[in-house]
């Protein structure tokens, strides 16, 4: 079996790690071993951050919907409950966008929610 020299593969692998570590401070961007540890740690945080971003956006949407619902004389949970009873199937992302951009449209949704709660 012939001997395999790993020059190009090793160089490519290390170059990829060092490219990902560019911008890190001191040895973390220059020395392979430090860079590898820093990059692995950064990728771990990036994975968790992608999950956190979804949670943070949902909570932002809820705050915006709640504020707009208060302006229309309802609490957030009354508003959502009323929409469910009225059969309006808009998600929180769309509702938050309507709350920010179209206050008249949101007011009509709030009236629908109030009517649905009032009939029950």
pTM score, two decimals?
0.80
Number of domains in the chain: 1
CATH of the domain at 72: 1.10.1900.20
Predicted confidence at residue 120, as pLDDT, reads 47
- What stretches of 21-86 show up as alpha helix (H) in DSSP? 32-71, 76-86
Q: How far apart are the C-alpha atoms of 51 and 54, rounded to whole Å? A: 6
Q: Using one digit for the tens of pLDDT, what is the confidence trace for 45-92?
A: 999 999 999 999 999 999 999 999 999 999 999 999 999 999 999 999
Predicted confidence at residue 5, as pLDDT, reads 83
Domain presence at residue 96: yes
Domain presence at residue 93: yes
Domain presence at residue 27: yes
Q: Helix 32-71 vs helix 92-101: angle between axes, to the nearest 10 degrees?
A: 60
Domain presence at residue 48: yes
The structure tokens listed for 49 are 């951050």
Q: How far apart are the C-alpha atoms of 58 and 48, rounded to whole Å? A: 16
Hey, how many other C-beta atoms are within 10 angstroms of the C-beta on 69? Answer: 23
What domain range includes position 38? 7-119
Domain presence at residue 1: no
């Amino acid at each position: 079996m012939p001997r395999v020299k790993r020059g190009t593969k090793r160089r490519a692998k290390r170059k990829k790690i060092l490219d990902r570590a560019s911008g890190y401070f001191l040895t973390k961007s220059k020395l392979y071993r430090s860079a590898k540890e820093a990059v692995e740690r950064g990728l771990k945080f990036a994975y968790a951050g992608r999950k956190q971003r979804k949670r943070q956006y949902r909570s932002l949407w809820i705050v915006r919907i709640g504020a707009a619902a208060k302006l229309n004389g309802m609490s957030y949970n009354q508003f959502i409950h009323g929409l469910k009873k009225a059969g309006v199937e808009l998600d929180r992302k769309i509702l938050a966008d309507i709350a920010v951009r179209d206050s008249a449209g949101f007011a009509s949704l709030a009236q629908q929610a109030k009517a649905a709660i009032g009939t029950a």
